[in-house]
Amino acid sequence: MRLGRRWSLRPAAVVVLAAVAAVSGCTASASGPTGSTRPSATDTVSSSPTDSSSPSPTDLAKAKVLASYDGFWTAQVASEAAPKRQQDPNLAKYAIDKALSDTEATILLFRSNGIAMRGQPKHAASVTSLSLADPATASITDCLDSTNWRPIYEATGKSALAPGQSPRVVVDSTATMFNGNWVIRTSVAHRDRPC
């Protein structure tokens, strides 16, 4: 994620993007940000009662896009929890271009300032558009809930979060096919769009 999107350093605090990276309240589901409501890569997509065949290519693609998005976030959270260590190798598996470079820049920023993330964010992501034309592309909208995912100064354990930041923000991401797999190409948290 872009540094300006998620964090900006102040003399003694890191400012989390208003409404941390795309989950919570930005979902079509009534379940809200308490957990993911999208299918995982192992979930099956139900077919109509008159159709006993396998899921449609569109439904399968959406499930794979969201599985890659989950993989991207899992690697990002692991890398930002221990920024002094080598980043999670899955980050480069699930992200390319701006999504990868922005996340790597955030990890370097944390490393140089002695900051690490603690806890886990929650997501409510959905695929908002999908094209299976070559190259295949998808758009993802997420409401990121960072209520239980906070920056701390590793030396003291004190919060590095500036006051007044919304813990939930809309995150818009794009995905594309790369080397036969869905990967996240861009991921932008909107500070001005709490969810």
All structural domains of the chain with their residue ranges: 3-31+56-194
Peptide bond into 121 cis (omega under 30): no
Distances (CA, A) of 13 to 20, 26, 73, 110, 114: 16, 27, 23, 12, 11
Task: Classify domain 3-31+56-194 by CATH number.
Answer: 3.10.450
Q: Please write the tens of the pLDDT for every residue from 66-75.
A: 999 999 999 9
The mean per-residue pLDDT over the stretch 87-105 comes to: 97
The mean per-residue pLDDT over the stretch 86-112 comes to: 97
The number of helix segments (H) and strand segments (E) in the chain equals: 4, 8
As beta bridge partners, residue 143 has 170
Looking at residue 52, what is its pLDDT? 60
Looking at residue 164, what is its pLDDT? 80
Looking at residue 42, what is its pLDDT? 35
Q: What is d(CA 69, CA 141) in angstroms, rounded to the nearest whole number?
A: 11
Amino acid letter at 119? G
CB-neighbour burial class of residue 6 (10 A; exposed 0-12, middle 13-18, buried 19+): buried
Q: Which two structure tokens, joined as six digits, stand for 189?
A: 């948290």
Q: What is d(CA 138, CA 103) in angstroms, rounded to the nearest whole number?
A: 20
Q: Please write the tens of the pLDDT for every residue from 168-180.
A: 999 999 999 999 9
Looking at residue 2, what is its pLDDT? 38
pTM given for the model: 0.75
